[in-house]
Amino acid sequence: METLRERERLPAMLELRDLHFAVDRGEGSEGGGKRGIINGINFNFEKGKFYAITGPNGSGKTTLAKLIMGINPVTSGSIIFDGQDITDFSITDRAKAGIAYSFQQPARFKGITFRELLSLATGIEEEDKLVELLMRVGICPLDFLDKAVDAKLSGGEIKKIELATTIARNPKLAIYDEPDTGIDLWTIGPMVDLLKKEQKEYGTTTIVVSHNKVFLDAADEILIINGGQFVFRGTLDEALPLLNDLSICNFKPCCEGEEHNVRCFR
């Protein structure tokens, strides 16, 4: 099993340098002061690789993803993206630099169609280009372009829309937070195939935050986070003993009817 310190650092698309994030414990909390969520992460994400970040609930997975996107400000440390220090960049500036973020729970908008949403997100208005984009992500344009982006859409449909708006920007770095949330088992395989295709054809550095074995198996490298720090990097086979030690899969209820290591590590 490879540890974080055993591998030589290589040129990176994204570099995290002694990254910390802490929150106030709140009045009346025992001990007072700050509680560390991310505690001194140092890591290079190499250009064009597919990473899966996993770990126990509350270990800092989503917090780290939001720090990279600028949704939360870092407490200390720095973030270097494509050779540029973006630590103090806004979300908009990071997006312009080439970072895209797909939320765990995509937004739904009353009174707006997918055509309008996609045009707003990408700046594309020509129908032939919108159709080409939808076909790229496996969506039937005739069914989707004029659909309202509202509560009537299924979890799978809204997730496809989220993926389309993320991929349309051809980002240098794409971050997907629990992309299988709210979708059925049969949609996950094609989603993984799509992300791998984008990675290979466009050289997209891809980070997926997930417990799902399908994403972990597809990754070039798995990172396990625990206590706000990376404690492992390597392949899924190498990671399994530690995943089990951390009780990331508790054999219920998400795994009922399946081999416990087929679907997820919750």
- For every residue of 127-177, DSSP letters joined together read HHHHHHHHHHTT--HHHHTT-B-STTS-HHHHHHHHHHHHHTT--SEEEEE
For 235-245, what is each residue's pLDDT tens digit?
988 988 888 77
As a CATH number, domain 12-26+33-108+153-249 is 3.40.50.300
In three-state secondary structure terms, 97 is: helix
What are the structure tokens assigned to 186, written together? 């049969």
**Structure pTM?**
0.80
E strand intervals along the chain? 14-24, 34-45, 50-54, 76-81, 84-85, 99-102, 173-177, 205-209, 221-226, 229-234
51, 174 contact by CB (below 8 A): no
114, 161 contact by CB (below 8 A): yes
DSSP assignment letter at 57: T
* Angle of CA points 193, 14, 203, to nearest 5°: 35
Domain residue spans in the chain?
12-26+33-108+153-249
- What percent of the chain stands above pLDDT 90? 41
For 11-30, what is each residue's pLDDT tens digit?
689 999 999 999 887 655 56
218, 50 contact by CB (below 8 A): yes
Q: Phi and psi at residue 191, in whole multiples of 5°?
A: -65, -45
For 196-236, what is each residue's pLDDT tens digit?
988 998 999 999 999 888 899 999 999 999 999 999 999 98
Q: Using 50, 70 and 90 to split pLDDT, how confident is the model at 162? A: confident
